[in-house]
């Protein structure tokens, strides 16, 4: 994954997660190179606190939604916001946000008529305007016959939409406005982000509204989630780009170690999936090296999809199923006022498809609230036992039940690995309860343990081992 030169989009992505954290003083109611990391920590972005109202409860005007996808056409969607007013519901104003003293930005959280939740940030002094979209869909959602589809899908969204069909229309616009973009695919989430300079090429706007650079970028960005093309003519090239990422990863010890850990998990659990994907898995058995004789003597041609099948239909199905307003969150920061930023978002992202009827986000809290999952009831205080009498947590093992990533057969093992680059590393993995379990949400014991194990002060584990000359570094964390 290419690192962005601007940290703002990443901060915005964290801001989106704050919708499910004590970021508010009250609970909410109502360049493509090397793009895509195939594995990171799981996000709790869509797991709202138990007392938080589900967004489905926000009353909005009804609207018609049409989605289609054929062999020749990309997916299309239409949503007409209600007339006679914006229909946007404000769920938190600036005064309701808990901010640090140096933070002079103004914030607002809103829900658009299509039920898209948006965090707005106004900063008149910023030198970089930005936006990020977080989607609750990652490589855990890959179909069995298309390993790496979520990652490949992320790549393809950058290559043209119905409104801006040129494969470079989006990034060319960003480049002309001093901006950059990137994205990554996680286990349960995918994140897209960009930044631009606050430019108005026709001079400063007299009304002080959203800059031409930000509004133009938002318009192009929104089309990813409204009408992407998934152009058949670009599939082969992008398949080979993903395959290059895979081949590059095979030469990196950290990547190989992570894949070994995934392979060692229960194959009934989505953690074991091959998130990066390669040419073979994405074409359902294709061989990137297959060639045939061309029309001219001595000429060779690549065989379409290496003798496998086109992943285009799978891409359209994935987008149709996962990329709607109920499954994404948007964050925007700009110099304009909150009112102007809100108008820009309504204008550009207001046509994103609403969630389908009865939609429930794939998060533990959301699933419990909807009655799909049932958390265990404590028999005596906070102590909960399973059928075998073992102490467990309320949400432990629920999301992908009955599958468990690391059960008794996968634990208590020692694996020795010969690295490609000479190094001597000891890694110890321990199974821990869900970090967002209600019993742990306020105490965060993992942070305390990680801090104690990784601390470098005199008398710490790091200090003692280093004094003996046994280590060069020591780190600890959860994920």
Active-site residue numbers? 154
The string of DSSP codes covering 441-474 is TTT-HHHHHHHHHH--STTSHHHHHHHTT--S--
Helix 312-322 / helix 149-157 crossing angle, nearest 10 deg: 90
Radius of gyration of the chain (CA): 24
Number of Cβ within a 10 Å radius of residue 30: 17
**Tokens of residue 474, six digits:** 């020591």
Q: Which residue has the tokens 């298309």?
A: 146
- Give CA–CA dist 40/439, Å, rounded: 24
- State which H helix or E strand residue 91 sits in: strand 89-92
Sign of the alpha-carbon torsion through 266, 435, 415, 425: positive
**Tokens of residue 18, six digits:** 């704050």
Give the single-character DSSP code of 383: B
Cα-based angle 451, 457, 461 (whole degrees, multiple of 5): 70
- Give CA–CA dist 201/182, Å, rounded: 24
Question: Any residues with CB less than 8 A from the CB of 436 and at least 6 apart, and which?
Answer: 44, 47, 364, 365, 395
- Give CA–CA dist 471/230, Å, rounded: 49
**Which of 448, 434, 283, 414 is closest to 363 using CA atoms?**
434
Give the single-character DSSP code of 372: S
Long-range Cβ contacts of 55-60 (<8 Å, 24+ apart): 55/30, 55/111, 55/115, 55/117, 55/326, 56/115, 56/355, 56/359, 57/29, 57/30, 58/30, 58/89, 58/91, 58/111, 58/115, 60/87, 60/89, 60/111, 60/113, 60/114, 60/115
The gap from C-alpha 167 to its chain's centroid, in whole angstroms, comes to: 22
């Amino acid at each position: 994954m290419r690192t962005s030169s601007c940290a703002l989009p990443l901060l915005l992505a964290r801001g989106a997660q704050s919708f499910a954290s004590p970021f508010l003083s009250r609970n909410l109611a109502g360049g493509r190179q090397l793009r895509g990391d195939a594995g990171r920590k799981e996000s709790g972005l869509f797991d709202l606190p138990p007392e938080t109202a589900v967004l489905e409860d926000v009353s909005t005007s009804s609207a018609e939604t049409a989605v289609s996808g054929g062999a020749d056409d990309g997916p299309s969607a239409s949503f007409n916001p209600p007339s006679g007013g914006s229909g946007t519901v404000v769920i938190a104003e600036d005064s309701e946000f808990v901010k640090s003293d140096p933070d002079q930005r103004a914030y607002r959280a809103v829900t658009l008529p299509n039920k898209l939740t948006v965090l707005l940030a106004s900063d008149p002094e910023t030198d970089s305007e930005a936006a990020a979209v977080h989607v609750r869909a990652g490589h855990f959602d890959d179909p069995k016959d298309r390993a790496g589809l979520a990652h490949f899908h992320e790549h393809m969204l950058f290559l043209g939409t119905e409104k801006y069909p040129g494969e470079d229309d989006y990034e060319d616009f960003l480049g002309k406005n001093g901006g950059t973009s990137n994205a990554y695919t996680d286990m349960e989430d995918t994140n897209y982000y960009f930044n631009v300079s606050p430019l108005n090429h026709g001079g400063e706007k007299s009304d002080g509204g959203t800059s031409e650079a930000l509004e133009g970028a938002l318009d192009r960005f929104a089309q990813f989630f409204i009408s992407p093309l998934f152009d058949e003519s670009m599939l082969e090239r992008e398949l080979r780009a993903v395959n290059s990422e895979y081949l590059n990863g095979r030469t990196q010890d950290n990547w190989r170690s992570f894949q070994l850990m995934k392979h060692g998990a229960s194959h009934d659990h989505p953690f074991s999936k091959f998130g990066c994907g390669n040419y073979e898995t994405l074409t359902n058995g294709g061989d990137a090296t297959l060639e045939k004789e061309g029309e001219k003597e001595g000429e060779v041609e690549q065989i379409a999809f290496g003798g496998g099948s086109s992943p285009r239909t799978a891409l359209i199905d994935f987008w149709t199923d996962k990329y709607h307003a109920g499954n994404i969150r948007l964050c925007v920061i700009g110099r304009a006022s909150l009112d102007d930023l809100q108008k820009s978002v309504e204008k550009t992202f207001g046509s994103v498809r609403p969630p389908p009827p009865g939609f429930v986000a794939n998060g533990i809290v959301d699933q419990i609230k909807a009655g799909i999952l049932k958390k265990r009831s404590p028999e005596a205080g906070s102590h909960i036992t399973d059928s075998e009498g073992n102490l467990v947590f309320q949400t432990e093992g629920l999301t992908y039940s009955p599958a468990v990533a690391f059960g008794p057969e996968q634990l208590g093992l020692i694996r020795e690995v010969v690295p490609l680059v000479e190094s001597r590393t000891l890694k110890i993995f321990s199974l821990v309860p869900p970090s967002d379990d209600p019993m742990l949400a306020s105490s965060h014991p993992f942070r305390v343990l990680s801090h104690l194990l990784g601390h470098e002060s005199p008398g710490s584990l790091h200090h003692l081992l280093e004094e003996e000359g046994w280590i060069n570094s020591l780190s600890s964390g959860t994920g």
